[in-house]
Amino acid sequence: WQLRLLHFKDACFWTLGVLVSSIQLLVIIAFLANLSEVDEWKWLISFAVVLVRKMLLVPLLACLFASLGTEIAAWSQPSIVSQPPKKLGLDMDLLEGKAVLEMEEEGELTETWTQKVEELAQRGITIRQLLDFYASLGTLMPHFDPDRSTTHDVVRQAIIPNSLHYRNWRTFMVVVHQASDLAAM
């Protein structure tokens, strides 16, 4: 049902867009057809100038000023470019002047680097967890149909509600443990 509604909205959007564009093209053609020969060249030249300005000049100037602004910011505050944001947890001092492969060959990979690689490698789920989740979709989403249900449907109707359930349950457990002093036992 949602997929049909989405296709209908897409069809309406494209139909309306083609219709509006066709009307605009018809108005332009009617305008050009009614020009006298004296005014025709003036309008064609002004059209060419507008086209060059919109298609070439403005994008090129935007790129130039954007890159110039970036370079000025990097020059005035080098710390912006030299260090990644702290929330990413990356230590760029590990790579000072050496590539990772060179460091690995020389045995100079630090413990911080190794821990970060292991932490990133552990993110994810196993095949067993994926198959168990697929098997439980019948209870989590009674209307689940593998041929019709989209990823969006599964995320919104199974994963998010199930995640909220566990999060609230854990929060409830912590509150109960703290209130009844079970955490101290």
d(CA 93, CA 112): 11
Longest C-alpha distance within the chain, in Å?
97
SS3 category, 113? helix
Length of the chain: 185
* Residue whose structure tokens are 């680097």: 113
Q: Quote the pTM value.
A: 0.33
d(CA 178, CA 184): 8
Is-contact 41 48, C-beta < 8 A? no
Question: Which of the residue ranges 16-20, 47-51, 173-177 would you say has the lowest mean pLDDT?
Answer: 173-177
Instruction: Report pLDDT digits (tens) over 102-156.
Output: 555 555 556 677 777 777 777 777 778 778 888 888 888 888 888 888 888 888 8
Instruction: Report pLDDT digits (tens) over 61-89.
Output: 999 998 888 888 888 887 776 666 676 66
